[in-house]
Amino acid sequence: MLLRKLDKIPQTIERRQSAIARMENRCAQARDTLTKTIDNINVIQPNAKIADEQAMTSARLEYEAQIILDYSAQKVEAARSLVDLLDQAEQEILGEIKLMESFLATKKTFDQNPLAEDYVEKLKSRIQNSTAANDGEHYCLCRGLNVGQMVQCDNPKCPFEWFHVECVGITNRSENSWLCPYCSQLLKNTTTDENRINPE
């Protein structure tokens, strides 16, 4: 999901930069008109219509100045929203990195414990022996078939791998990393054993 968002960022940046460039062109056109109008004021010959021409020129100057101010404000807002977009993307990336670091640290602790590996291997062999006679594959703590909503344990050495959502009590899976009850307990036990062996 994050990668899809990140893929769209260059397109969004390009669109916003194009919008800023269009606003800059409009500002430049308004400045040119403003400059020409000011130059025309200097050229006006005294005659009976001077008051009317000055009033029109003054109104035109105000109008062009307002256009420049409006486009300048829009440019600033577009640039500000672009900076906000990039800040948000940076925060999401940093959050994903922290989540992955946390997951990898947990996985490394689990993978480096020989007791955990032995336990998982014994459990796997028992499960494989008990399911060898069955025609369909069984999953979960309930040993049921792969039906309904399932969730996968993130421990690659999990003996069950897939679990029925109802059996493990998940109502809303919002976190990216999930360990089944067996692997969670195994991880707790190995952490406790390490603390007993290597007290700090």
Domain assignments of the chain as residue spans, ordered by start:
1-44+52-113, 133-193
Q: How confident is the model at residue 15 (pLDDT cuts 50, 70, 90)?
A: confident
- The answer to whether 27 is annotated as binding is no
- Cβ partners under 8 Å of residue 72, min gap 6: 23, 27
- The answer to whether 167 is annotated as binding is yes
Residue-averaged pLDDT of the chain: 74
Least confident of 46-50, 64-68, 83-87, 144-148: 46-50
pLDDT digits (tens, 9 = 90+) for 104-113: 777 666 556 5
Q: How confident is the model at residue 132 (pLDDT cuts 50, 70, 90)?
A: very low
What per-residue confidence (pLDDT) applies to 131? 44
Of the candidate CATH numbers 3.40.50.300, 3.40.50.11750, 3.30.40.10, 3.60.21.10, the domain formed by 133-193 belongs to 3.30.40.10
- The answer to whether 138 is annotated as binding is no
What are the Cα distances from residue 18, in Å, to 7, 21, 126, 173?
18, 5, 64, 40
